[in-house]
Amino acid sequence: MILFPAAVFAGSRFGPPRISLRNSIPHQREPLMAKPKTTPASSLVKLSDDQIEAALRALPEWSHVADTIQRTYVFKDFLVSIRFVNAVAVEAERVQHHPDMLIRYSRVTMTLSTHDANGITQKDFALAKASDAIATDI
């Protein structure tokens, strides 16, 4: 006799059980968001200090800190900060580039670096620009 967890079966005791895998296997659930973008190889090239400083001119709130770029956002309160973090998380998952985020009540510090390139790439600047747009819309 084979035993299965009760959650796997969807049916009644008056008929044969129907196996429902829809919600029991996470990787077979319907996607919650759009498929991730593929990253062009050119965006994974580590930028020089001169290239970083030039790109930062377009993002004046961001700073070059070691092998990262960083910005602290200030919001009205904690709930707005969390709304921002959640919106950035969706974008980060979509583009498959995940920032470090530190939440301190109404402040969110975001740090970006591309681990595969061991430094800062165009991918970091693209997510920084997207995060700034999200912050403006929150």
DSSP 119: B
Please report how the helices 122-137 and 78-95 are oriented relative to each other, as an axis angle in degrees rounded to 10: 140
List the pLDDT tens digit at each of the 138 positions of the chain: 555 444 444 444 555 555 444 444 444 444 445 555 555 555 689 999 999 999 999 999 999 999 999 999 999 999 999 999 999 999 999 999 999 999 999 999 999 999 988 899 999 999 999 999 999 998
In terms of Cα–Cα distance, which of 46, 47, 40 is closest to 96? Answer: 40
- Taken in order of first residue, the domains within the chain and their CATH numbers are 33-137 (3.30.1360.20)
* H helices present in the chain, as ranges: 49-56, 78-95, 122-137
Q: Which pTM value belongs to this model?
A: 0.69
